[in-house]
A and B are shown apart, each in its own frame.
Chain A
Amino acid sequence: MIRFTNISKVYKPNMTALHGVSFHVKPGEFVSIVGSSGSGKTTLAKLLFAEEKPTSGKIVVGDWDITSIHRSEIPTLRRQIGVVFQDFKLLSRKTVYENVAFALEVAGAANVRIKEVVPQVLKIVGLGDKHERYPHQLSGGEQQRVSIARALVHRPKIIVADEPTGNLDTVTSREIIELLKKINEFGTTVVLVTHDRDIVNALKKRVLTINGGKIVSDVEHGKYVLG
Chain B
Amino acid sequence: MRTLIRVIKFTGQSLWRNAWLSLITLTIFVLTLMTVNAVLLVNVVTSSAIRAVQNEVQVAVYFVPGTSQETEKSVRGYLLGLSQVKTVEVITADQALQNFKDKNAGDPTVLAALDEVGGNPFGDAVVVSANNPQDFDFILQAIKTPEYAPSIKQTDYTDYQTVISKLTTFTDKLRIAGLILAGFFALISILIIFNAIRIAIYVHRDEIGIMKLVGAQDWFIRAPFLLEAVLLSLLATGVMAGVVLVSTKALDVPLMQYFGQVNVSLWAYFTSNALIIFGGEFLALALLSSLTTVFAMRKHLRV
Other 10 A-B pairs with CB < 8 A, given A92-B207, A102-B214:
A74-B212, A75-B212, A78-B215, A90-B210, A92-B206, A93-B18, A106-B217, A107-B215, A108-B2, A108-B3
Within 8 A of B (CB), among A44-85: 49, 51, 72, 74-79, 83, 85
Q: Using Cβ atoms and an 8 Å threshold, which residues of chain A touch B211?
A: 91, 102, 106
Question: Does A106 lie within 8 Å of B213, measured CB to CB?
Answer: no
What's the A-B contact tally at a CB cutoff of 8 Å?
A: 53
Question: Does B2 lie within 8 Å of A111, measured CB to CB?
Answer: yes
Question: Does A93 lie within 8 Å of B217, measured CB to CB?
Answer: no
> Nearest A residue to B5 by beta-carbon distance?
A111
Q: Using Cβ atoms and an 8 Å threshold, which residues of chain A touch B217?
A: 72, 75, 106
In this assembly, does A103 line the interface, its C-beta being within 8 Å of a C-beta of chain B?
yes
How far apart are A97's CB and chain B's nearest CB, in angstroms?
Answer: 13
**Residues of chain B whose beta carbon lies under 8 Å from any beta carbon of chain A:** 2-3, 6, 13-14, 17-18, 206-207, 209-217, 220, 303
Q: How far is the CA of A121 from the CA of B14 in the complex (A)?
A: 25
In this assembly, does A105 line the interface, its C-beta being within 8 Å of a C-beta of chain B?
yes
Q: Using Cβ atoms and an 8 Å threshold, which residues of chain B touch A72?
A: 217
Q: Using Cβ atoms and an 8 Å threshold, which residues of chain B touch A51?
A: 213, 303
Q: Which of A89, A91, A110 contacts B2 (CB 8 A)?
A: A110
Q: Using Cβ atoms and an 8 Å threshold, which residues of chain A touch B209?
A: 89
How far apart are A153's CB and chain B's nearest CB, in angstroms?
Answer: 9
Q: Which of A74, A77, A91, A110 contacts B210 (CB 8 A)?
A: A91
Q: How far is the CA of A106 from the CA of B10 in the complex (A)?
A: 11
In this assembly, does A150 line the interface, its C-beta being within 8 Å of a C-beta of chain B?
yes
Q: Using Cβ atoms and an 8 Å threshold, which residues of chain B touch A154?
A: 215
Question: Does B215 lie within 8 Å of A75, measured CB to CB?
Answer: yes
Q: 9 smallest A-B Cβ distances: which pairs?
A: A106-B216, A78-B215, A79-B215, A103-B214, A75-B215, A93-B17, A89-B210, A75-B217, A105-B6
Question: Does A93 lie within 8 Å of B13, measured CB to CB?
Answer: yes
Query: Can you report 21 residue pairs joining A to B where beta carbons are below 8 Å apart?
Result: A49-B213, A75-B216, A77-B215, A78-B215, A83-B213, A89-B213, A90-B210, A91-B210, A91-B211, A92-B206, A93-B18, A94-B13, A102-B211, A103-B214, A103-B215, A106-B214, A106-B216, A106-B217, A106-B220, A108-B3, A110-B2
Q: How far is the CA of A89 from the CA of B213 in the complex (A)?
A: 9
Q: Using Cβ atoms and an 8 Å threshold, which residues of chain B touch A94?
A: 13
How far apart are B209's CB and chain A's nearest CB, in angstroms?
Answer: 8
Question: Does B214 lie within 8 Å of A150, measured CB to CB?
Answer: yes
Q: Using Cβ atoms and an 8 Å threshold, which residues of chain B touch A108?
A: 2-3
How far apart are A104's CB and chain B's nearest CB, in angstroms?
Answer: 9
Q: Using Cβ atoms and an 8 Å threshold, which residues of chain A touch B207?
A: 91-93
Q: Using Cβ atoms and an 8 Å threshold, which residues of chain A touch B206?
A: 89, 92
Q: Using Cβ atoms and an 8 Å threshold, which residues of chain A touch B13?
A: 93-94
Q: How far is the CA of A110 from the CA of B1 in the complex (A)?
A: 11
How far apart are B303's CB and chain A's nearest CB, in angstroms?
Answer: 6
How far apart are A89's CB and chain B's nearest CB, in angstroms?
Answer: 5
Q: How far is the CA of A106 from the CA of B224 in the complex (A)?
A: 12
How far apart are B248's CB and chain A's nearest CB, in angstroms?
Answer: 40
How far apart are A205's CB and chain B's nearest CB, in angstroms?
Answer: 25
How far apart are B166's CB and chain A's nearest CB, in angstroms?
Answer: 62
> Nearest A residue to B210 by beta-carbon distance?
A89
Question: Does A78 lie within 8 Å of B214, measured CB to CB?
Answer: yes
Q: Using Cβ atoms and an 8 Å threshold, which residues of chain B touch A103?
A: 214-215
Produce 1/0 per residue, A135-162, CB < 8 A to B: 0000000000000001000100000000
Q: How far is the CA of A106 from the CA of B211 in the complex (A)?
A: 8
> Nearest B residue to A134 by beta-carbon distance?
B17
How far apart are B220's CB and chain A's nearest CB, in angstroms?
Answer: 6
Q: How far is the CA of A75 from the CA of B219 in the complex (A)?
A: 11
Q: How far is the CA of A72 from the CA of B212 in the complex (A)?
A: 11
> Nearest B residue to A109 by beta-carbon distance?
B2
How far apart are A222's CB and chain B's nearest CB, in angstroms?
Answer: 29
Q: How far is the CA of A91 from the CA of B211 in the complex (A)?
A: 8
Q: Using Cβ atoms and an 8 Å threshold, which residues of chain A touch B214?
A: 78-79, 102-103, 106, 150
Q: Using Cβ atoms and an 8 Å threshold, which residues of chain B touch A110?
A: 2
> Nearest B residue to A75 by beta-carbon distance?
B215
Question: Does A106 lie within 8 Å of B215, measured CB to CB?
Answer: yes
